[in-house]
Amino acid sequence: MSDLAANARDYRMSELFGNLHRGLRPETPLLGSHMWNSMGAVAGGMTNVVDMMFDNWPMAFQLIEGATHAVQSPSGYYGFRTMRGFDEKNSILKPVPSEALSYVGHHVDHELVENIEVDCARRIERMENGEPRRFLLTMGGAGAQRDLFHAIVEHVRPMVDAGEATLFVNLGDHAENWEWLQDEMGSDAKNVHTHFTWEDTKAVADEIRTGSAEGIHVFLFDNTFHAVYSTNYLMRVVDVLITKPSELAFYPIPKIFNERVGGHEAWGAIRSAELGDGTVEMRSIPETLNAIDLIAGEHDLMRLYCDSIVRNKQIGIYDGAYHSVALATGTTWERPVS
């Protein structure tokens, strides 16, 4: 449910941890990467809260009266401004005040934005040198889309054996998914390179940044922080991210979009496809496998995506995190002239 009733329910729930913020000065800048965090801060009396909205599809539960909303896209801005679809009867609602919304661009980690040119250049260099295309497959949640996930692994395995692809699989902190994948792969699971600590993951990523990478690599962690950040860290050393069009749709890396899990993810794929840094949404397993074959075996799409990512950086598409900090601190931010 994404109407205003859900918004009111979530705010009342978030009031329960408002006390966590009452020990801080009310004007202290606070950036919330999830609306419940921002709601709790507002409920605790904080007056300088920036809600970094994490989706492109307007959803009522992300709005917080008393916060500034950092929106990632123009279409998202319009949707939140008009509260489109926020009433269960689809009534036309009074718009959100313009001063409560700010279009900032995509929320992306500094190290990813800062190194876009060098990382894309390395992708093109690996491609021109005939190195295996590096795919990063992410599996989150409770193991949604296991059939699709298994089909991708099975499809890429012969490509790995032929030296056409390298596959990195991040299972996050879901050990049951590794048990499942081992059963699916059978005796071939013994050939998988496993990385179950952050130290090992970082060492591998650092090694292949300028070195070679082969085989199938599985990453699994015992905590959420390493599980999530490992994807961010690995992004810089891989060529293509395979993911559903959720929060990762906004990141500056060539992407193949699997079919959405939630309806709200549809506009993430649309945004990326039109910006030129990812495919359209694949609506079936054969479509996903076809995209893998095309991007692994041909050169034009990789060039298109990498060129688009570099241009997008130049016009500030990926600067949302910087602008969000500026909103919270009452300052302005401009991309330095290179």
- 32-56 as b/e: b if 16+ CB within 10 A: bbebebbbbbbbbebebbbbbbbbb
pLDDT tens digits along 190-206: 999 999 999 999 999 99
Long-range pairs for 141-144: beta carbons < 8 A, 24 or more residues apart = 141/174, 141/261, 142/174, 143/174, 143/176, 143/177, 143/180, 144/261
C-beta separation of 179 from 145 below 8 A: no
- Alpha helices (H) in 143-174, listed in sequence order: 146-161
Positive or negative CA dihedral for 169, 115, 159, 244? Answer: positive
What is the per-residue pLDDT for 300? 98
What is the per-residue pLDDT for 263? 79
Six-digit token pair at 274? 């039109």
Q: Is 69 left (phi over 0), alpha (psi -120 to 50) or beta?
A: beta
* d(C-alpha 131, C-alpha 11), whole Å: 51
Q: Give residue limits of the domains in the chain.
A: 4-105+319-329, 111-314
* d(C-alpha 34, C-alpha 64), whole Å: 11
pLDDT tens digits along 157-184: 999 999 999 999 999 999 999 999 999 9
Count of beta carbons in the 10 Å neighbourhood of residue 242: 28
- In CATH terms, 111-314 corresponds, of 3.90.226.10, 1.20.1290.10, 3.40.630.10, 3.40.50.2000, to 3.40.50.2000
Six-digit token pair at 125? 């260099």
What is the per-residue pLDDT for 6? 87
**Residue ranges of the chain with pLDDT lower than 50?**
1
Maximum C-alpha span of the chain: 61
Reduced DSSP (H G I as helix, E B as strand, rest coil) percent helix, strand, coil of the chain, to 5? 50, 15, 35
